[in-house]
């Protein structure tokens, strides 16, 4: 069971998200908060597994609350759930420890999938926000410093693999990639998995960082 806290200053939004999450038997909403300070206190009292965190809130915003929570409770996963899709907020959220970044127009099934993925250690960046990721790399040093330049492996990438990386960095979904490369979605998924394994990377975010550091995407 994944214990979740919803931190958002709009009560009607919290109630809507709570209703969606409670349709999943593996998710339990254990608390709600209307600002970052309340969110921090709820973490201390309820020990959640994951927080859905808004950004703009009174008293203490979600980005600062994320920094404080991550400094105290490293294992709590934080998904930013916001309307803001600009590079400033994305960079600050990731720098402060956010594990995933989702926009509020996300479909209910996709939100549930993001929660499941995040609890398993996979970072999730919604497609619309992912397109701004290359602009943020230089502003999130602690998140990307583990990705080193890798001339040897880069030289061994095929043209098709480099094209696949380029489309991923641009935020394309598997269906879009499959269409552009004339492949099936299954083949695209397998190709991405093999590529991550070859380059010793965890997810698409690290792959995007790798691409920029190694000159595959500029």
The backbone torsions φ and ψ at residue 122, rounded to the nearest 5 degrees and listed phi first, read: -105, 120
Residue 3 tokens read as: 């214990």
The answer to whether residue 191 scores a pLDDT higher than 80 is yes
DSSP state of 137: G
Mean pLDDT across 166-188: 86
pLDDT in tens, 86-102: 777 887 888 888 998 99
**Is residue 139 situated within a structural domain?**
no
Confidence band (pLDDT; 50, 70, 90) for 64? Answer: very high
Same domain (yes/no): 20, 50 = yes
Confidence band (pLDDT; 50, 70, 90) for 147? Answer: very low
Query: To the nearest whole percent, how much of the chain has pLDDT over 90?
Result: 44
Angle between helices 11-21 and 108-119 (to 10 degrees): 70
pLDDT for residue 128: 65
The boundaries of the domain holding residue 75 are: 2-131
Whole-prediction pTM: 0.65
Is residue 55 within 8 Å of residue 29, measured between CB atoms? no
Domain boundary pick from 103, 131, 159: 131
**Is residue 164 situated within a structural domain?**
yes
Q: What is the dihedral of CA 49, 64, 130, 165, to 10 degrees?
A: -80
Same domain (yes/no): 50, 117 = yes
Same domain (yes/no): 10, 75 = yes
The answer to whether residue 145 scores a pLDDT higher than 90 is no
Q: In this structure, what CATH number is given to the domain that contains residue 124?
A: 3.40.50.2300
Same domain (yes/no): 115, 173 = no
pLDDT for residue 86: 76
pLDDT in tens, 24-33: 999 999 999 9
More confident residue, 142 or 45: 45
Domain boundary pick from 98, 131, 164: 131
- Structural domain count of the chain: 2
Domain boundary pick from 131, 159, 182: 131
pLDDT for residue 66: 95
């Amino acid at each position: 069971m994944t214990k979740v806290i919803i931190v958002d200053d709009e009560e009607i939004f919290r109630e809507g998200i709570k209703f969606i999450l409670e349709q999943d038997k593996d998710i339990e909403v254990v608390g709600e908060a209307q600002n970052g300070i309340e969110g921090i206190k709820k973490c201390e009292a309820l020990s959640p597994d994951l927080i859905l965190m808004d950004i703009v809130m009174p008293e203490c915003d979600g980005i600062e609350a994320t920094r404080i929570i991550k400094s105290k409770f490293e294992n709590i996963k934080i998904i930013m759930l916001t309307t803001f899709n600009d590079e400033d907020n994305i960079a600050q959220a990731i720098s402060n420890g956010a594990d995933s970044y989702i926009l509020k127009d996300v479909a209910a099934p996709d939100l549930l999938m993001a929660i499941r993925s995040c609890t398993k250690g996979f970072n999730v960046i919604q497609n619309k926000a992912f397109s701004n990721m290359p602009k943020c790399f230089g502003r999130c040093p602690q998140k990307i410093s583990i990705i080193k330049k890798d001339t040897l492996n880069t030289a061994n990438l095929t043209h098709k693999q480099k094209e696949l990386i380029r489309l991923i960095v641009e935020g394309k979904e598997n269906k879009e990639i499959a269409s552009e490369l004339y492949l099936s979605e299954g083949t695209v998924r397998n190709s991405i998995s093999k590529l991550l394994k070859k380059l010793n990377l965890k997810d698409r975010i690290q792959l995007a960082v790798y691409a920029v550091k190694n000159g595959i995407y500029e």
